[in-house]
Structure formats: C-alpha cells, structure tokens
Amino acid sequence: MLTKCNLGVLIHEQAKVWGDKVALSYRDYATSSWRDVTWKEFSRRVSLVSNALLEMGVAEGENIGVFTQNKPEGLYVDFGSYGVRAVTIPFYATSSESQIQYMINDAGIRYVFVGEQYQYDTAFRVFKMCPTLKQLVIFDPSVQRDERDQVSVFFDELLRLGQSHDHGSEAARRAAAIAPDDLVNILYTSGTTGVSKGVMLTQRMYSAAIPVNDSVMDLSENDVVMNFLPFTHVFERAWSYWCLSRGCRLAINLRPQDIQMTLTEVHPTCMAAVPRFWEKVYSGVQEKIAESSAVQRKLMLDALAVGKRYNVDYRLKGLVPPLALKVKYMFYEKTILSLLKKRLGLERANFFPTAGAAIPPQVEEFVHSVGIKMTAGYGMTETTATVSCDWHHSPVSVGSVGRVLKGIEIKFGDRDEILLRGDTITRGYYRKSEITAQAFDEEGWFHTGDCGYIKNGELYLTDRIKDLFKTSNGKYISPQALESKFVVDRYIDEVAIIADEHKFVSALIIPDYKLLEQWAADNGIAVADRQQLCANPLVVQMVMHRIETLQQEFAHYEQVKRITLLPEPFSMERGELTNTLKIKRPVIAQNYKAQIDAMYAE
C-alpha cells in the first residue's frame, strides 16, 4: 500500500506501519557483508538528526548541503531536514572545488555534510572562500581531518548531540506546519550548456509525482531496490522516495564501479538505471557470444531471437504469443536466459526504470528479449523526474518513452518543442528570475528544449533544440541520434559527434581499448601504446567500417565521414563531462580543436 503524506513525516509514518521490517541495506566494506537498518531505526536516526539541526539553530527554510556518494547517512540528513522544514541541496560526490564553492555561495549554506575523504578535502579547501559556511559534518569516521580544522565534527557526534537535546515540541510544531509549497530540495543542473542552475523542488511536486507513478507501474513492499544512480540525480531521488512510500527495501550501492558485484550479492528486483548501464551489459553479452563456440553461439542467438519474438513482438504489444513460441521461449527461459540473468544478479527482476538519455533500440530490444522488464521513460530535474514512461498494463513500443503521466498537460510548440504544465513542474530556478522567465511562457507552459511527437498515445523524442548542429551547408544534425546508434558497437565506448558549422559530420571516438588491442594483435598489428593504436590507419579503417554499417539508415548528409580515435577517455577533471557523465560539447570542441581541425583539413 502506498503511504501518502509529506516527506517531513514519511519515515516516521512508515515506521508505524513496518516497524522491524528492513528499510535500508548497505555494504560494509570492512566485513564484505550487507548491514540492515529497520524502519524503526531509520525513524529514530531521522529524529536524532532533526533534534541536532534544531540544536544547531537551523531555521525553517534554511539550505543545507549534502556532499556525498550514496550512503544511508545522506537519507537520514534529508528526512531529518524535511521534518524541521529545512531544505537539502545534494552535491555530486565527484563535484570539483569550483562547483561546490559556487553552490554553497549561491545558496548561502552554513552546514555541509560530507561523505568520505575526497568530499571532506574538497569542501575544506573552499571553506575560506565561502563566507556563510560554518561547519562540515563528516559521515565516514575514517576521514583524516586537516590539522587546521577546528570546527568540523563527525556524524556520530551529531547524533549524540541530537540524543542529548530534546526539541520534540519544536520538531512537532514544524512538522505540523509543513505546507505543499514548502521548498524541499534545490537540485543544481549539471551545466552542459552554461552556468549551473538550482532547480527548486517542493513538497507539492513530490506529493503529485509519487502517486501518478504508482498508478501505472507495479511496485510493492516486497521489492528490493538497488540504488545505483546517485541520490543527487532527480531520477534516483524521486524514484527512491516513491520506493520508500511503498515500503520497499533500499539496497544502497556506495561505489558505482562495484555495481556488478553488488548486484550479484543483493539480487534486487528493481533498479533505476541510465541507458549506459544497459549498453555495457549488451556489449558484454555480445562479446561473450563472439567468443563462444559455434554451437553455443547458435543457441544463444536463437534464444535472443525467440525472446525478441515472444516479449517484444507479442507481450509488449499486449498480444498473446502462439503456443509453439511460448513453449520454445519457456525452454530458453529455464536454460540460457535464466543463466544469463543469474550471472548479472537479475534473476529476481521485477522492472528496471531507465531514462536520462536516448536508449538505443538494439539495447532496449535485447533487455526485453532476455526477459527483463525495462521501463523506458523521459523526464527532467524540472519535472520531478518522470514526464512519461512505459505503463505496465498498456502496449509498449520500443523506441518510445512511454505515455505521459496523468495530471501532466503537454502540448507541442515551435519545432515540435515539448511544453509542459502541472503540479510536478518546478516553479523556477533558485535566485535566477531572468532564467526562470525564459523557461516559462505567459500561459505557464514550461519549455523543455526537447522535441517530439505523440503516436498511438506514446511519446517519442526526436531532438534536443540546443543540441542540434547546423552544418555549413545549412543541414540540421541530431548528434544524440548518431551517438546512441554507435555506442552499441562493442569496439566503441564513447562518441562525440562534430558537425556544427562544418561542411560534413565527423566524430571523436573513445574506443574500448582492451578489445581494440586484442583486434590489433589478432591482425598482426604491432603497437607500442594507445597513442599508436589509435593512430594506426588499419585500426581507424576497421572502426570506420563498423560505423559505416551502423549509420546506413541515416541520410547522406547526416552520416559521419571522418573519425579520430582518442587514446584517453573524456574526463570530468578536464571539464569534458558533467557529473552525470554527459559530454559538454563546447568543452570537447575546445579541448580537441587540433584533432577536429585535422579532420576538416583539405
């Protein structure tokens, strides 16, 4: 059953319902085991945080920074803050000094909660440049504090502060005063197109978003949910709050690079993910198929083909599969497909929401073919995540981003831009009135910058207006369409399409170095390092040939004519990637100007 209440009291209300049931699990790396936190204990720690914040003098509406990777403590701070009508502002765990300095100063933050050593060191270095900053609170007890640090405290100390001072009456007064338009979070956008903007999310937005998502997808208290994406990301945040409202158990993944290990340890039923996760799974399976014997390869390919017919061609469309197809699928499901899902740790799969970028159709079909219910969706920080998604009891088309949620108004403006209104839409950007005015028109429609159309009740995305390139020949190019097509190739890890104001389309390619090195060795090509590997004409020719095969469906003017293989991946440190791993096109164009110019040299 879905518990409907404001976020300030949600955990306490759920503790009344679920008591000693496990609410959270997290991996203890010291013992290589998972530790559980019950709903009662979750509620107790949230109350201690609320008490401590009141003792520290946190005012109603005050902004609090949370600079950490996924940890239970981050949730205690969030919900402890909501209970006393404070606002939390999450920072990505990989944020740079300049990024957090900007956010702390922009939001006038006095207290910042930090996770591990990197976050502490980064925050401490900007302390003197943030006039409002008063104190850091450290989650990880193993963090080594700077010898000059006289003000930071550890989270355990904060909990003891909350335990020794009872502000129950004031906490109750504030909780009772929580209003729908109270600010809950300020989520700073990743800044692909300029200065980071703080999106304001309110109680009303979450209260509207959670039940409408619940009405079209099958989630229950029996689900075990892996938290893989950062809680800083609106997708993971809103999804997790819905899961908590349903009484699910959250399994909190601390280190993103360990996700394959933690999946096999926890065996979750659900997990929010971005397409890149599934692209990696797809590439891994394709590599496994390529390395198998002829007999094994034939069986695996047939299993996937049968799975596609059964799941994609029939079940997703609401059709009943023929008996012969069902029998054949059930055989493969009990043998090859079940073994594949077990190796991934997904044998108990319920459904897996996927959004954040375009999903390559090949990847979406593959996930459904193996019997995993990928629930494609579309949304933004400004829309409390979901605008549309695949409804679980309605026909689903591969390539769409589902059906628009109830309560959200949609229409299409110039160049088919998606315009939205509704209770889940932000009221604007924090202290950015001019930018807010640019995002909303006089009738209150929010201009998303995304283009699309609706067919048979499902929303399809075509382009993002700001990302469209215009060649010197006047042709418009959608880089995302090409990039999502290319990354399914097992030899290609990342792609940046180049076309704006150029006479043809080119691409910077980050290859899968391991596979490329193996191909070079198998073909008698000797290289001393990655630099030589990526510059070798035969290697470049091989990758270009694969691209030519992948891009046949595109118009001639859209097709990539030249490529450059880069010996190093794109980097956040060089400013080439956002915290959500999206490429910053202006930075890419600047950092790789020499390579780009070389591709257009006569």
The owner of tokens 């950092």 is 591
- Contact residues for 478 (Cβ-Cβ < 8 A; gap 6+): 462, 463, 464, 467, 468, 469, 558
Give the integer Cα–Cα distance in Å for 139 and 54. Answer: 19
C-alpha distance from residue 326 to each of 314, 315, 367, 540 (Å): 10, 11, 18, 44
Amino acid at 203: Q
CATH number at 275-422+430-465: 3.40.50.12780
Per-residue pLDDT reduced to its tens digit, 222-243: 999 999 999 999 999 999 999 9
Describe the strand order of the beta sheet including 352-354 as a list of residue ranges: 352-354, 374-380, 385-389, 403-404
pLDDT at 194 > cutoff 70: no
* pLDDT given for residue 190 in this prediction: 67
Across 429-438, b (16+ Cβ under 10 Å) vs e yields bbebeeebee
Name 515's bridge partners: none
The contacts of residue 280 (CB under 8 Å, 6+ apart) are: none
Q: Hey, what amino acid is at 570?
A: F
Q: Per-residue pLDDT tens for 495-525?
A: 999 998 888 999 999 999 999 999 999 999 9
Query: Once rounded to an integer, what is the mean pLDDT over residues 411-430?
Result: 96
Can you tell me the distance from the alpha carbon of 162 to that of 178, in angstroms, rounded to the nearest whole number? Answer: 21
User: What is the average pLDDT score of the chain?
Assistant: 94
pLDDT at 541: 96
Cβ distance 209 to 238 under 8 Å?
A: yes
Tens digits of residue pLDDT in 324-361 = 999 999 999 999 999 999 999 999 999 999 998 889 99
Q: Using CA atoms, how far apart are residues 247 and 3, in angstroms rounded to an integer?
A: 8
Q: What is the model's pLDDT at position 126?
A: 96
Residue 484 has pLDDT above 90, yes or no: no
Tell me, what's the pLDDT at 469? 79
Query: So where are the chain's domains?
Result: 10-178, 275-422+430-465, 468-599
pTM: 0.88
Is there a shared CATH topology between the 10-178 domain and the 275-422+430-465 domain?
Answer: yes
Query: What's the rounded Cα separation, in Å, for the pair 274 and 282?
Result: 13
In single-letter form, the type of residue at position 193 comes to: T
255-305 tens-digit pLDDT:
999 999 999 999 999 999 999 899 999 989 998 998 999 999 999 999 999
Percentage of the chain with pLDDT > 90?
86
Nearest to 479 by CA among 552, 555, 558, 592: 558
Whether 145 has a pLDDT exceeding 60, the answer reads yes
Task: Give residue 191's pLDDT.
Answer: 57
The reported pLDDT for the residue numbered 338 is 95
Output the pLDDT for position 577.
87
Per-residue pLDDT tens for 561-582? Answer: 999 999 999 998 898 988 777 8
Task: pLDDT band for 472, please (50, 70, 90 cuts).
Answer: confident
Chain centre distance of CA 164: 38
Longest dimension (CA), the chain: 76
Q: What is the DSSP string of 310-327?
A: IIIIIGGGTPPPPHHHHH
Cβ 12 vs Cβ 178: under 8 Å: no
The fraction of the chain above a pLDDT of 70, given in percent, is 99
Confidence of residue 245 (pLDDT cuts 50, 70, 90): very high
Q: What is the pLDDT of residues 55-109, one digit of tens each?
A: 999 999 999 999 999 999 999 999 999 999 999 999 999 998 989 999 999 999 9
Say if residue 2 is exposed, middle or buried (CB neighbours under 10 Å; 0-12, 13-18, 19+): middle
**Dist. CA 563–CA 491, nearest whole Å:** 14
Domain 468-599, architecture per CATH: 2-Layer Sandwich (3.30)
What is the model's pLDDT at position 170? 97
Confidence of residue 195 (pLDDT cuts 50, 70, 90): low
Sheet with 198-202, side-by-side order of all strands: 153-154, 135-138, 111-114, 63-67, 87-91, 183-188, 198-202
Q: Which residues contact 462 (CB under 8 A, 6 or more apart)?
A: 416, 451, 452, 453, 478
Instruction: Convert the pLDDT of each residue in 358-387 to its tens digit.
Output: 899 999 999 999 999 999 999 999 999 999
Superfamily of domain 10-178: ANL, N-terminal domain (3.40.50.12780)
- The two tokens of residue 252 are 């909190």
